[in-house]
Structure 1
């Protein structure tokens, strides 16, 4: 289940294929701008990401004749979703940092507990550059006593929501219903 942007996957592919990943890439670029001051790894990651962003902008936004109302609406919706994801990741980071501080731990201590050797990797996880594993989040939940809903994004892609709704409808069980997300991931 893809609930948020993974920079390394985009860099591996070498391209952005949709508006939501474009908006996610723009947010990641801003995060990497700050992190690049700390590490050459982040600087190199940002350079690669910026090249991919520029390619997408050239192919999707440079021809004014290709920009219609549908594209603008899609862009606005994607911006909103990417911003909601950014806020979720930022709140999760603040919550984790607050709890580790309360317990007189450091981010490096938490990395060690999770089995991560690299300070850079832990920074990528905390900043949403790389996704936490489910195992990491369960350990953080139990160790730091943080509600799981503050650690795991509780939204589904539009496609997943449609599939589940269709499956529920086919069951024809009036007592079974599916609650849609407040916003939908494309």
Structure 2
């Protein structure tokens, strides 16, 4: 796969990065590491970079305000979008805030990991300690709305079956996407 990616880069049709998007962050983050390793790419978690820079996000928002935080967030997204050979992950709030997705779209192929609602619910129930917003997270109407929006901004949509090798499926879809472009 790395040879194919290098060939496509030589033809100057490949965006320099891949951005994985999904409604379920835990699922996306797990897939990102394995996929990046198989593609010979670096994983960049934008939210982790922001946390590293600000140390205590809630305190920064309380002291400097949400506008300041949003500026830091957009600055980080712009910096990451200039990277090459990176598999980028971020949460949906960051993705849609301040048109960050438009900044990333210039240098990234967007791949949406599309889970059905029941699989999404299973993953959340395994990974989350129930909190007061748990019911809100599991709201089917909200899930469907996010799903429609993410499908509309994605270059590739991967309909996930948790019983399949997801990384192989993603790699195959990337190959097919670029075959169509060629």
| TM-score normalized with structure 2 length | 0.27
Which structure has more strand as a fraction of its residues?
Answer: 2
| TM-score normalized with structure 1 length | 0.26
- Greater gyration radius: 1
Which structure has more helix as a fraction of its residues?
Answer: 1
